């Protein structure tokens, strides 16, 4: 029963991932069709490595900043906030 289970696992190709804690370029010839989880701003972003990416930094293909979401202004942000009572 174990031999049959091992054969089934070999038939299924699993995409391998590697983690790289750098923005520097690497030897992509060995890593084509793999995916990289890069540490960008304390979160891992999935990057699919393709032949066109050879010679570029991996940071060029993944967003490196968090998009700005503006909310309400805080206390002290404007002069009119002096007249709002602090609860």
**Confidence category of residue 38, pLDDT binned at 50, 70, 90:** low
**Confidence category of residue 55, pLDDT binned at 50, 70, 90:** confident
Whole-number Å distance between alpha carbons of 38 and 43: 8
Which CATH architecture group holds 15-65? 2-Layer Sandwich (3.30)
Is the pLDDT reported for residue 14 higher than 70? no
DSSP 32: T
Taking the model in full, what pTM does it have? 0.33
* Range ranked top by mean pLDDT from 11-15, 23-27, 44-48: 44-48
* Residues in CB range of 59: below 8 A, 6 or more apart: 23, 38, 40
**Confidence category of residue 84, pLDDT binned at 50, 70, 90:** low
């Amino acid at each position: 029963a174990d031999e049959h289970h091992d054969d089934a696992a070999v038939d299924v190709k699993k995409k391998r991932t590697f983690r790289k804690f750098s923005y520097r370029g690497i030897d992509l010839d060995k890593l084509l069709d793999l995916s990289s989880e890069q540490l960008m701003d304390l979160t891992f972003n999935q990057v699919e490595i393709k032949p066109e990416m050879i010679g570029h930094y991996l940071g060029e293909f993944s967003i490196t900043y968090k998009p700005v979401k503006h909310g309400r202004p805080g206390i002290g942000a404007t002069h009119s906030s002096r007249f709002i009572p602090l609860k």
